[in-house]
């Protein structure tokens, strides 16, 4: 390998490290999964609390996730909002 290939590989490694600053790239999935778990509780138990908690967890997931891994947080945000609205109308 010559020096330009080594510099290119080092640049790719630095870019990969900057793109995912978390110690584990899977750490951003935990709040997204908890947001998805809060959606049925928002419908069945308490729409305000679990809707708000799930929405906040989904936003945390969106903020922690790398650029192309935000689907779980987005689905969690939509599901908790829908679960909170649905739970409000079902419980009354």
pLDDT of the residue at 69:
80
Cα(48)–Cα(62) distance, integer angstroms: 21
Is residue 39 pLDDT above 70, yes or no? yes
Question: What are the extents of the domains in the chain?
Answer: 22-91
pLDDT of the residue at 34:
92
Contact 48/29 with Cβ under 8 angstroms?
no
Cα(47)–Cα(52) distance, integer angstroms: 8
- Tokens 């009354």, residue located: 92
pLDDT of the residue at 11:
58
pLDDT of the residue at 41:
92
pLDDT in tens, 49-78: 999 999 999 999 988 887 788 888 899 999
Q: How far is CA 30 from CA 57, 72, 77, 88, in A?
A: 9, 10, 14, 26
């Amino acid at each position: 390998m010559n020096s330009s290939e080594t510099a290119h590989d080092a640049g790719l490694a630095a870019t990969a490290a900057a793109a995912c600053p978390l110690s584990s790239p899977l750490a951003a999935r935990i709040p997204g999964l908890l947001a998805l778990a809060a959606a049925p509780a928002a419908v069945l138990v308490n729409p305000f609390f679990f809707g708000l908690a799930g929405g906040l967890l989904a936003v945390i997931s969106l903020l922690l996730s790398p650029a192309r891994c935000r689907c779980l947080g987005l689905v969690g945000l939509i599901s908790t909002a829908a679960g909170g609205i649905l739970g409000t109308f079902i419980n009354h």
